Amino acid sequence: MKCVRRTENGIEVHDVPVPTHEGVRIHVRSVGICQTDVNLARMGPMPQTLGHEFAGELDDGTPVGIEPMVPCGICDQCRRGDYLYCSVGHSMIIGIGQDGGMAEQVVVPQRCIVPLPRGLDARDACLIEPLAVNLHSLSLARFKAGDRVCVVGANLSGFGLLAAVAAAYRGAEVDLDPDSDHGRAAAERLGIGTEPSGHYDIVIEANGSEESIAKAAEWCRPAGIVLLVAGYYSDKLLSVGQYVVKELTMVWGTWYGHHAAGRAVDSAAALLARQPAIARELISHRMPLDAATDAFALIESDEPSLKVVLEP
């Protein structure tokens, strides 16, 4: 079968044996390329198949999403239910520590399966994972309905737009401080404001640059919260002035887990089913798996794009 790996020659499509280990077989129908994949590709060769944002069908044709975590189940964190903080760390993430979904097929543990609500197609369900990160992160930031929220940056994969729609869905007044014209246009079509003003209870930093981190503090009200979700793959020089004077709280959002009503991935699937416009606006390009090299190059280029999805 075909899969996508980062080799000495860059992003390449390879032929590998069909996986035969124990678990549930997924015939992949969509896999998103995110900022993590792009940054992993920049770091050099890796032995695993890429792809942690993916969805597909079971052998019987049932469409499913995926929570790409394989926690150990026995460490202190797992035993108290916080499997997202499993002691094995990043090695438990499918597509990072083990073979991922940029392939025609992948085998995952049963616990990874996310049932899809009616109305959510597997071709769009690759958005479950990044949307779940944002829903989980809002909980970490003690978000409450009625908060004013500003998102700084749409991000190269549209991640900031997912943060905006997640906050709006939970009852926030949301504005986006866009980092691109196409990000601004997509936000407006989703009903997100693009002319931020005043100060905000929570500012979500979704761009990842030092300039964006500083701008987030400027938009935040005194004693407010800056939620950093962009993914930070190198050290950042933090301009602390506004953070100190305003006594801001910094919260980092990385994972997804469970809450009183269930898993964050299940909440994300429900939101995507209720609002199909999210996938329509976020997914800017759909490309075949064979075009993975071109897809990564597209994201790194100046051509406008948001979520680029590979479809095996």
Residue 208 Rama label (left phi>0; alpha psi -120 to 50; beta): left
| Closest to 311 measured CA to CA, from 57, 123, 34, 67 | 123
User: Taking 80 as the threshold, does the pLDDT of residue 261 lie above it?
Assistant: no
Do 90 and 141 belong to one domain?
Answer: no
156 shares a domain with 137: yes
Query: To 10 degrees, what angle do helices 181-189 and 159-169 make?
Result: 20
Domain extent, residue 192, equals: 131-252
219 and 291, same structural domain?
Answer: no
Specify the number of domains making up the chain: 2
CATH number of the domain where residue 94 is located: 3.90.180.10
Cβ atoms within 10 Å, residue 72: 14
Q: How far apart are the first and last CA of the chain?
A: 10
Same-domain pairing of 185 and 279: no
Domain shared by 78 and 170, yes or no: no
Do 49 and 152 sit in the same domain of this protein?
Answer: no
Q: Report strand pairing: 63-66 vs 113-115.
A: antiparallel
CATH number at residue 230: 3.40.50.720
Calculate the average pLDDT of the chain. Answer: 96
pLDDT, one tens digit per residue, over 102-144 is 999 999 999 999 999 999 999 999 999 999 999 999 999 999 9
Same domain for 112 and 136? Answer: no
143 and 193 both lie in a single domain: yes
Last residue in a domain, options 202, 217, 252: 252
Q: What is the pLDDT of residues 201-234, one digit of tens each?
A: 999 999 999 999 999 999 999 999 999 999 898 8
CB 12 within 8 A of CB 293: yes
For 267-289, the pLDDT digits (tens) are: 999 999 999 999 999 999 999 99
- Give me 306's structure tokens: 């948001």
Secondary structure of residue 271 in the 3-state scheme: helix
